[in-house]
Chains A and B, each alone.
Chain A
Amino acid sequence: MLGGYGDDRLGSVDSPLGDGRLGLLALVIALAFGVFLLRLFQLQILEGADLRQRSQQNSVRTLVLEAPRGAIVDREGRTLAANRPAYRVQVIPNELREPDRTYRALGQLLERDAVELASRVGQPTGRKRFQPVELDGDMGEERLARVEAHRFAMSGVMTDMRPRRHYLEDARAAHLLGSIGEIQPAQLQNERFADYRAGEIVGQTGLEARLEEHLRGRAGGRNVIVDVAGREMREVDMIRPSPGGRAILHIDLDLQRAAEAAFESQDPEKPDRMGALVALDPRNGEVLALVSRPTYDPNDFAGGIDSEIWQGLIGDEWVPLQNRAIAGQYSPGSTFKAIVAVAGLAEGEIDPADEVFCPGYYRLGRRTYRCWKRVGHGSVDLTQALVHSCDVYFYQLGVTLGIDRISRYAKAFGLGQLTGIDLPGEKAGLVPTRDWKIRVKKEPWQKGETVSVSIGQGANLVTATQLAVAFSVVANGGQRVQPRILRRLETWDGRLVDEPETPDTTSVGISKNVLDIVSRALTAVVEQPRGTGGRSRVPGVEVAGKTGTTQVVSLDLVKDLEDDEIPLRYRDHAIFAAYAPAEAAEIAVAVIVEHAGEGGGAAAAPIAQRVLARYFEKRREAEGAPPLSVAEADREVEIGSPPLARAGVERVAD
């Protein structure tokens, strides 16, 4: 029955197909597999290490755990800068099941345009599909709650929380605290920022910059195994972030608030005052308040600043980003007379009782220098010269002393040089000398310049901080203090890291006796009826101080204008420096009001008064004494206040 197949057998004895062709097939098959083995060898042995690494890159993802930035608190532990939770919503493009529906829903929940959200994500390809795209980095609790409530219906939408810098006082103390921002490309190349990554947040100004190392903390990280969709499968290892340390300042938030408020206008018609204020403890240099106005809200910087806000700040005529307290340089005006007075006494050129006749002008060679009071002060001694800010008295004294001696004393008081305050960006100011004039102006010193310098005009430039230091020297009997803001550095959980030692004060080498004489005169400036500093009086405390007014432009420009017609930028600066209690000072304040349009007595002294008043109010509370009754306080102020606000205004003439 199988016979039918017999004829099928081919000629070859061995095979019906012929060996040759089968051999060919075998060769082809062997060749193919030979190629495969070679290829396997290439991929697995030769390129194995490299490809294995890529496989790990595939599946191991390192997630940065940001360290919360350390808090900054005032001397009583009240928080100035801390962190608050910022809620973020992100989408993973690959996991969006119904993109259009999801964007529409998110648009409603976030009150944003769905099309804008969609275009933000786009349609990424490759591994980018698995990388989350941020839609909102700080959506607030309410939106978080809304998104969370609907998240189950939106696959691929994730929310998380990150710490964000928060300045509790908003724009108050902004310059002191400073701001943070993404690290700049130039900074990344700096050795100091060697361990920073691009995009990391770093303190850019103020204490945030100064204390960067302490506040930053150390970011942690987690290595996690993720699957192809980026889902976390398990954790390989984790390094916990260590939170940044706490910084405790000498600043007293109560005084800071009082000072800030004093610059803020109560009248909506009138703009806030601009300028600077520094309050410190004259015994040791501890800075109690430091104000610069106009200001900005550092919270705007915390999450990457909006370009519109940034442009506004950069383009602002009044440079709100500058810290005027340490970098605003002004002529000291008549406040400088206190230093000239010390120089005159210490050098033995005058006796406090010596009287000078002020006819309203002073002649030097062929030039006439006028006193701000055209009709003259008549005969004045040192105290009266200071109380009424008589220019002629100090013209004469200045010429007698000569520029060399004046500048030596100015420098001894800390003017024209960095005070060493622990904030970045301090400016040195300028105390003009003969050398300086030759070096910079290439001209010899003119005697007439000495006349201007004696009343704080001319090339003299000081900062509010320097002025506070200089008046502290008078207040504390001859010690120059270094202003300090930082009290203590602690770890986030309160262990001591560093407590900067109080820097040694430098004796300026002036006898206590001389300083006491000037101090009593400065007390008269405030406390004597019709004294120019009368508006800084604090009930129950003796205040010593000196007013000053400096012209911004030559009188010719504005002489035909009424006061309120003068453009703001041509108006005079008002200055006031003071300390109290006069006999044993605990606080010194320097105030500069830019373009006040009024004198130091009228514009600056009341601001200092608010800070001094708050200080002594607190001290009374601390001592358990009842605060003065309102009536009592009012009466005291009334007795001493000048009959006219204008009485305190000085005009300085060339």
Chain B
Amino acid sequence: MRIDRRSIQNFDWVLLALVSLLVALGLLNLMSATHSGLEAGSSDIFRRQVLALGVASLAMLGVCVIDYRRLARLAMPIYVASLGFVLLPILMSPATRGAQAWLFDGRVQPSEFAKLALVLALARYFQRNPPTEITRITQLGAPLAIIALPVGIIALQNDIGVALLTLLIGVTFLPFVRIPWPAWAGLGAAGLAGLAAFWSYGLKDYQRTRILDFLDPARDPLSSGYQAMQSRIAVGSGGLFGTGWMEGSQTQLRFLPTQHTDFVFSVLAEEWGFAGSAVVLSLYLVLLLWGLWVARNAKDAFGAMVAVGVVGILFWPATINVAMVLGLAPVIGVPLPLFSYGGSALLAAGIAIGLLLNVSMRRYVF
């Protein structure tokens, strides 16, 4: 292990600052979301998140240290290992939360790491087969297979949200290929057909219900429509400057569903108002654009692809989560990266940011 002096000089402090700011705000928000004398163990949640943050920070720095070009060679083995890791819960864990996606008594969620492995594998594949040279749709067979394997396994565990996310992260790479327009149209049509088939055969009843609830919230005010409504009320009651930290009535009185995970952004919107939410969304936007800037300045295709993948890893769950919270998308159990409670997610995010820092700091290395 060797750290170039230039790498340290070029350390991406801006990126680290952006992430640190988001994580700090996220912790503050989580503190409020879990604060309540009502439920024993809610402060436990906060403590565990702080602990996970420590582990994630170490992982992030650890990932920085290893030159990413070494990782390129390990990409495929990591990918294969991750598939096995993802398969494990199916084989051994009892179902938790309606999904068999957890390991070690619900402490570890392997699919979080499968997303990272997928990004590495696709970056490696496109490094070997530059997307600019992919001009025929048949050439997409291999990368689509790389995407389909983990997505399929995760879907088998009934974790449709994560499966969808993994799929979208894979799809993030597609715009770089140079297939003609008719091929794009065919791909789109195939995607729609797949979606329709998935609706009919791939979804459980409760999942279909959630989507129907979104399309028509008055259908059943009890279930996810009720959650979405409470979330909208929370967001709206924030107003311009919010009700104040730890003062949101929707939050503090637990009208918000799963407010420390899926609806953590509602808490932010209620207590910090439009001003606070806009700041956080802007920080996110800058972080994501910064990630694309890192991709643009990466010195090789693998680095650039990894950066794009990391942007995808952050962008898709953030988008889906915020859209859900704001009532723009159905209630899908997707947490907000860096904000929602969840050790595995935080650790995976730490590794992802580490990869981005890794690529960024080595942009002038050779």
Chain A residues in 8 Å Cβ range of B304 = 15-17
Cα A2 to Cα B67 with chains together (Å): 11
Contact with A along B280-324 (1 / 0, CB 8 A): 011011001100100111111111110010010001000100110
Q: B127 contacts which of A8, A36, A59, A126 (Cβ < 8 Å)?
A: A8
Interface residues of A in 45-66 (CB under 8 A from B): 45, 47-52, 54-56, 58-59
A635 to B236, CA, bound (A): 92
Query: Which segment of B145-153, B250-258, B337-345 sits at the interface?
Result: B250-258
Q: B232 contacts A233, CB within 8 Å? A: no
Taking a contact as CB atoms under 8 Å apart, the answer to whether A36 and B323 are in contact is: yes
A495–B304 Cα distance when bound, in Å, is 89
Q: Which residues of the partner chain B approach A14 to less than 8 Å between Cβ atoms? A: 296-297
Given known A-B contacts A8-B302, A40-B274, A58-B249, A2 and B366 have beta carbons under 8 A apart: yes
Question: Is A129 engaged at the interface, CB distance under 8 Å to the other chain?
Answer: yes
Cβ contact within 8 Å between A51 and B285: no
Residues of B within 8 A of A (CB): 38, 69, 72, 127, 130-132, 172, 175-176, 220-222, 226, 230, 232-240, 249-250, 253-255, 269-270, 273-274, 277-278, 281-282, 284-285, 288-289, 292, 295-305, 308, 311, 315, 319, 322-323, 326-328, 365-366
Contacts A45-B274, A227-B254 given: A33-B285 contact, CB under 8 Å? yes
Interface residues of A in 451-466 (CB under 8 A from B): none
* Known interface pairs A30-B285, A36-B326; A48-B311 also in contact (CB < 8 Å): no
Which of A18-26, A72-80, A308-316 binds B?
A: A18-26
Complex CA distance for A129 and B221, rounded to whole angstroms: 11
> A44-B277, A45-B239 in contact; A59/B249 too (CB < 8 A)?
yes
Residue pair A126, B250 in contact (C-beta under 8 Å): no
* A50 to chain B: closest residue by CB: B236
Cβ of A168 within 8 Å of any chain B Cβ, yes or no, is no
Which residues of chain B come closer than 8 Å to A58, judged between CB atoms? 230, 233, 249-250, 253, 255
For the complex formed, measure the closest distance between the CB of A402 and the CB atoms of chain B, giving whole angstroms. Answer: 80
- Could you list 15 examples of A-B contacts with CB < 8 Å? A8-B130, A10-B130, A17-B301, A22-B308, A26-B292, A39-B328, A40-B277, A43-B236, A44-B235, A50-B236, A51-B236, A52-B236, A55-B270, A58-B255, A227-B255
B253 near A19 with CB under 8 A, answer: no
In the bound complex, CA of A229 to CA of B36 (Å) = 14
Report B-chain residues with C-beta under 8 Å of the C-beta of A44.
235-236, 238-240, 269, 273-274, 277
Whether A5 sits at the interface, judged by CB under 8 Å, is yes
A44 and chain B: residue at smallest CB distance: B274
Give chain A nearest CB distance to B187 CB in angstroms: 16
A439 within 8 A of B: no
Q: Which residue of A lies closest to B73 (CB)?
A: A4
Give the chain A neighbours of B175 by CB distance below 8 A: 21, 24-25
Asked if residues A125 and B222 are in contact (CB atoms below 8 Å), the reply is yes
Contact in complex: B176, A18 (CB < 8 Å): yes
Q: Does A35 contact B (CB under 8 A)?
A: yes
Query: Is B254 in contact with A48, judged by CB distance below 8 angstroms?
Result: no
List A contacts of B221 (CB < 8 A). Answer: 125-127
User: In the complex the two chains form, what is the Cα distance from A24 to B289 in whole Å?
Assistant: 11
B297 neighbours in A (Cβ, 8 Å)? 14-15
List the B side residues contacting A126 at CB < 8 Å. Answer: 221-222, 226
Q: Give the distance in Å from the alpha carbon of A84 to the alpha carbon of B299 in the complex.
A: 87
Q: Does residue A225 face the partner (Cβ distance < 8 Å to B)?
A: yes
Report the minimal beta-carbon distance from A15 to chain B, rounded to whole angstroms.
Answer: 5
List the B side residues contacting A270 at CB < 8 Å. Answer: none
Ranked nearest first, the 4 interchain pairs of A and B with the lowest CB-CB distance are A51-B236, A55-B237, A52-B237, A126-B221
Q: Which of A11, A49, A126 has the most CB of B within 10 A?
A: A126
What separation, in Å, do the CA atoms of A44 and B266 have in the docked complex? 11
A25→B172 contact, CB < 8 A: yes
| Residue of chain B at shortest CB distance from A124 | B222
Distance A411 CA – B22 CA, assembled complex (angstroms): 95
Whether A129 pairs with B222 at a CB distance below 8 angstroms is: yes
Q: Mark A488-523, 1 if CB is under 8 A from B, else 0.
A: 000000000000000000000000000000000000
